Structure 1
Amino acid sequence: MRNRFLVCLAVAGLVGCESVQTTQGGAVGVDRDQYMFSSLSATQVDQMAAESYQKILAEAKAQNVLNTKDAMVKRVRRIAGELIPTVEAFRPDARDWNWEVNVITDEQLNASCMPGGKILFFSGIIERLDLTDAEIAQIMGHEIAHALREHGREAISRAYTTQMGTQVVGALFGLGQMSMQAADMAVQYGLMLPNSRSNESEADLIGLELAARAGYDPNAAVSLWQKMAGASQGNPPAFLSTHPSPGGRIEKLKEAIPRVMPLYEAAR
């Protein structure tokens, strides 16, 4: 944490850096300070994410793999409709995001929620793991948590300093000749590459609470990651690329379940 803050200070003269709290802590107590470039707004990141999301949908539509499984699409959208209202517990403004939910027919074990509420599931993660509704809710809650905590904007802010350096930072903000290239790199680093393990742990906890508030059994988090552990034998799926080990995360989730169980009981 301290190193990240010092990196921000090093380029503060160019763009400025600020400590923010993107969400309330919730019952699970996620309250880590986050450091973001003040010149890079959540609105800008949401716009970049929306453009990337639409490009993915257009490519999937061209390949005739977008929303081709009607029953699955209805199922995923129904679960999303139950989870989205619960985001108010962490950040009330997120309830009014322009949420979208789509399914791509693909064997990948993957799912995501881009900044601003752009949810995407691949059919493989549901079919190959034979997920229950409660397990889908755990994955979806986890991915929504990344968007609520603005992990994408945080990653872009980090990439400007630790990955791309001040030359790219300057270009992005009109101080050089490579603004388009810098913007592309920002999207790649901040929106497309995997999240850090600390961010994944935060998403686990917030996702657990979101699903509980929506009336989904928190114990499904354990069965989900047990299934993921089985799927990770050999070549781990992309979804697990920087995630904590299944065994370690299951123990942390078990520790957190008692904190959200009253929320689940109240929502049933």
Structure 2
Amino acid sequence: MKHILITGLTVLLISACATSPTGRSQLMLISPEMAISESKQAYVSTVTDISNEFQLMTDEAWVDRISTITGRLVTEAIRKYPDSRDWDWSVAIIDDPDTLNAWCMAGGRMAIYTGIVTQLNLTDDEIAQIMGHEISHALANHTAEKMSRAVLVNTGLAITSQVTDQNGYVLNGSAIAAQLALQLPNSRDAEREADEIGIELAIRAGYRPEAAVSLWRKMSQAGSGGPEFLSTHPSPGNRMDTLQDLGNKLKSLNPTQSKSAVHPVSIVTDTRQL
């Protein structure tokens, strides 16, 4: 029985390969379409739970700032990745001054915590680098990739369970995998990919590429434990050097730093909008 299950899993893995926007091979047990569908449910659940502890930001200055920055990035994302035009582009601004974090699920559903902006004293250019990086995780199907990893781990545990007659290891639904994807760290390859796509989006949107370097310098200096952001976004030691090189190479894409149009992005100020 164990041999049959392992053989079946091997065949599944071979047939589940995909290619990322940068040409990297990806494991895709979960399709991008399913990741978007399940992420919608996970987003509603996650943001609702968060809003029960912290307020969703409604301050007009915050809403205008985040919607403008994100809208310019989304304009460029749609231009280069037309399939994302119909995504439910939205941002929940979590009024939590102690948390330094931001994320984006499949389908363009995002969150940013006020703490990462206020504690690091971020400029608009630095916020654009964060949100561009997060948007890039969605564009490159990293949610589906992490969901696939979660399913694979639980499938392996399920095989052990059947052999040893142990129970309780099987993942109960892909919606749970979508929530787990928020907690799982990105691979270094996925991080490099999001850096590359994100800094390009930011440059095309009119934001300074140098801000990517200053952002990660601030991240690395943010306390002994580092921001929560780094728990799911591991930071290689040469990241700032790599971003500097990328910025220099891509600066010609928008040498005058002219600003993009602002694509409508919904700011979630009430859970009834979810």
Q: Does structure 1 residue 32 correspond to structure 2 residue 31? A: no
Q: Does structure 1 residue 94 correspond to structure 2 residue 84? A: yes
Q: TM-score, normalised by structure 2?
A: 0.80
Alignment of 1:228-267 (within 5 A): 228-231=219-222, 233-245=223-235, 247-265=237-255, 267=257
Contact 2:89 2:108 in 1 (8 A): yes
> Residues of 2 paired with 1:255 and 1:73: CA distance?
32
Residue in 2 that maps onto 1:127: 118
Once the two structures are TM-superposed, the CA of residue 178 in structure 1 deviates from its matched residue by: 8.5
Q: Which amino acid aligns with 2:25?
A: D
Residue in 1 that maps onto 2:70: 80
Residue in 1 that maps onto 2:106: 115
Q: Which amino acid aligns with 1:19?
A: C
Once the two structures are TM-superposed, the CA of residue 134 in structure 1 deviates from its matched residue by: 0.5
Q: Which amino acid aligns with 1:59?
A: D
Task: Indicate the SS of the match to 2:225.
Answer: coil
Structure 1 residues 182 and 53: alpha-carbon distance in aligned structure 2, compared to 1, 3 A threshold: closer
> Residues of 2 paired with 1:228 and 1:102: CA distance?
21
Task: Determine which of 36, 40, 61 is the counterpart of 1:71.
Answer: 61
Once the two structures are TM-superposed, the CA of residue 227 in structure 1 deviates from its matched residue by: 0.9
Contact 1:196 1:242 in 2 (8 A): no
Structure 1 residues 31 and 177: alpha-carbon distance in aligned structure 2, compared to 1, 3 A threshold: same
Once the two structures are TM-superposed, the CA of residue 246 in structure 1 deviates from its matched residue by: 6.3
Alignment of 1:195-206 (within 5 A): 195-206=186-197
Structure 1 residues 93 and 221: alpha-carbon distance in aligned structure 2, compared to 1, 3 A threshold: same
Task: Indicate the SS of the match to 1:181.
Answer: coil
Alignment of 1:142-161 (within 5 A): 142-161=133-152
Identity of aligned residues (%): 40
Once the two structures are TM-superposed, the CA of residue 247 in structure 1 deviates from its matched residue by: 4.4
- Give CA-to-partner distance per residue, 1:67-106, whole Å, 9 cap, x none: 2333112211111110001114542201221111120001
Runs (5+) with no aligned partner, structure 1: 1-7, 24-29, 169-175
Residue in 1 that maps onto 2:272: none
Alignment of 1:37-52 (within 5 A): 37=29, 40-52=30-42
The aligned length equals 248
Contact 1:197 1:244 in 2 (8 A): yes
Residue in 2 that maps onto 1:20: 18
> Residues of 2 paired with 1:246 and 1:33: CA distance?
21
Residue in 2 that maps onto 1:208: 199
Task: Indicate the SS of the match to 1:236.
Answer: coil
- Give CA-to-partner distance per residue, 1:157-189, whole Å, 9 cap, x none: 223224541738xxxxxxx99877253652344
Runs (5+) with no aligned partner, structure 2: 1-5, 160-166, 259-274
- Give CA-to-partner distance per residue, 1:118-172, whole Å, 9 cap, x none: 010000000111111000000000000100111111122223224541738xxxx
Structure 1 residues 115 and 93: alpha-carbon distance in aligned structure 2, compared to 1, 3 A threshold: same
Contact 2:18 2:27 in 1 (8 A): yes
Contact 2:154 2:171 in 1 (8 A): no
Structure 1 residues 184 and 51: alpha-carbon distance in aligned structure 2, compared to 1, 3 A threshold: closer
Q: Which amino acid aligns with 2:102?
A: A
For CA contacts below 8 A with separation 6 or more, give which structure has more relative contact order.
Answer: 2
Q: Which amino acid aligns with 2:106?
A: P
Q: Does structure 1 residue 217 correspond to structure 2 residue 215? A: no
> Residues of 1 paired with 2:130 and 2:155: CA distance?
31
Q: Which amino acid aligns with 1:94?
A: S
Q: Which amino acid aligns with 1:21?
A: T
> Residues of 2 paired with 1:164 and 1:185: CA distance?
14
Contact 1:110 1:238 in 2 (8 A): yes
